[in-house]
Amino acid sequence: MRYAEEPHTGLTRFTVNIFKNLIKNSSKNYFYYLLLPPKECSKHFIDDFPSDLKNFKKIFWRQKRGLKWKIPFVLFDLDILLLVKEIKPNLFISPYIDPPFIPFVKVIATIHDLIFIEVKDYFQHLSLLKRLVAYFRILITILICDNLLVVSSATKKKLINRFNWIPNSFKSKIKNASIISNGIDLLSLDKKKYVEIKELINKDFFLYVGDRRPHKNIIYLIKLVKAINKKFSKNTILILAGSNKYKNLKLNKLITKNNSLVHEIVNPSDLTLDFLYRNCKSFFLISKEEGFGIPVIEAASRGAKIVISNIPALREISPKHSCIINLREITEDVNKISCYLKNDLRPNSKEVIKKWSWQNSSKNLFELIKIVLES
């Protein structure tokens, strides 16, 4: 769980919720070792793993995710090899794309998306080199792992198409990859504290949740909102909620230029995020590429209207009564969104919660673990 040291990310949310529910729902015959970031980097999730459960042990790593865990080609990690040799697990599960090479244990790795090789401007510097490195890291992961997990059919299809040239013995790993979807975590929140948030946000607003990378298409979203406001003669603001760690200079200039329209909420709390989902006029995620799109199902589970782009991953998870736009021509998209905002149709939150459950995903993973250990 080494990447879980970064709060407010999809990777952290997937990792914590999958393993939390896996441990809770596993039989007593299974014991888990959780390889965690250092204690000071685990405070945002460590309470999710109750100490009264006796079927797991936490192992806090001595250092943060530095070069040793960050450079994709560092396959041989002596510390991890020694640890694995000491505790002798039957299986090593990585919720990420880059597990170390462990020749004496079965390994399962998770591929969330191919955005970093599909999107040309994903990396700000040395883009081509980094995309090549990422491509070969995925290839190596396919070669060294016994089984693969993906979070969506869309990611699986992209993998099959990208690596269609590799030998059948390895290609079969992709075709047999198990889909372990993201889910929804509806926390018990003190909604009385909404009053404090309402005082800060006292206008009608559209909502985007996520980071600021170019493939998220926020520049186009700002243009859309301006055009929608013009059509309705409204002043609905756009709230961008999430991490601003990625420095998108072009976007930052546009936000500054439109500071009366665009409001940023950096790393919102669960309570703030819940309020935003429940009270927005509509939630938008109009990315050019996605592996899944957790904020879509989170927003829909709170009954928000949903506007998404017409890409495979988002079509796959889109709830009924979502608005799907093509991003071809802004007038066409504005007209479609306008009709959607005027009607009363919106996703059924109960159906969304039932379909996208971390408990179901962890059960699917547990079934795979049993199959792998018995094979």
State the pLDDT confidence band at 51, using cuts at 50, 70 and 90: confident
| Same domain flag for 152 and 16 | yes
Q: What is the pLDDT of residue 201?
A: 77
Q: Taking the CB of residue 375, how many other CB atoms lie within 10 A of it?
A: 8
CB within 8 A of 324, min separation 6: which ones? 307, 308, 309, 310, 314, 315, 318
Going by pLDDT thresholds of 50, 70 and 90, the confidence category of residue 199 is low
Task: Indicate if the pLDDT at residue 42 is higher than 70.
Answer: yes
Q: Which residues pair with 262 in a beta bridge?
A: 238
Do 144 and 248 lie in one domain? The reply is: no
Count of structural domains within the chain: 2
Sheet holding 147-150, edge to edge: 91-93, 106-111, 147-150, 178-179
Q: How far apart are CA 207 and CA 370, in angstroms?
A: 41
- pLDDT digit string (tens) for 246-257? 888 899 999 999
| pLDDT of amino acid 105 | 93
291 and 257 assigned to the same domain: yes
What would the mean pLDDT of 50-78 be, rounded to a whole number? 72
Same domain (yes/no): 350, 255: yes
pLDDT attached to residue 189: 62
Q: Say whether both 303 and 326 belong to one domain.
A: yes
pLDDT in tens, 70-101: 555 567 778 888 999 999 999 999 998 888 88
Same domain, 348 and 361: no
Q: Is 237 within 8 Å of 208 (Cβ atoms)?
A: no
Same-domain check for residues 101 and 243: no
Dihedral angle sign, alpha carbons of residues 289, 2, 96, 11: negative
For residue 286, pLDDT over 60 is answered with yes
- Is residue 225 located within the same domain as residue 303? yes
Nearest to 307 by CA among 327, 278, 328: 327
Q: Do residue 133 and residue 155 come from a single domain?
A: yes
pTM: 0.90
Average the pLDDT over each of 60-64, 81-85, 90-94, 322-326 and give the range with the smallest value: 60-64
What CATH number is associated with residue 149? 3.40.50.2000
pLDDT of residue 185: 78
Mean pLDDT on 289-294? 94
At 204-231, the pLDDT tens digits run: 999 999 999 999 999 999 999 999 999 9
**pLDDT grade for 149, boundaries at 50, 70 and 90:** very high
pLDDT at 28: 78
189: tokens are 């929140």
Residue 202 sits in which domain range?
A: 191-355
Structure tokens at 163: 């690596």
33-37, 116-120, 237-241: range with highest mean pLDDT: 237-241
61 in the same domain as 40: yes
- Please tell me whether residues 219 and 177 are part of one structural domain: no
Average pLDDT over residues 260-283: 92
- Residues 267, 289: Cα–Cα separation, whole Å: 22
Specify the higher pLDDT residue, 3 or 99.
99
The confidence band for 12, taking pLDDT boundaries of 50, 70 and 90, is: confident
B/e letters for 341-371, b = 16+ CB within 10 Å, e = fewer, are beeeebbebeebbebbbbeebbbbbbebbee
pLDDT at 65 over 70: no
Residues 308 and 173 occupy one common structural domain: no
pLDDT at 369: 93
Give the pLDDT of residue 196. Answer: 62
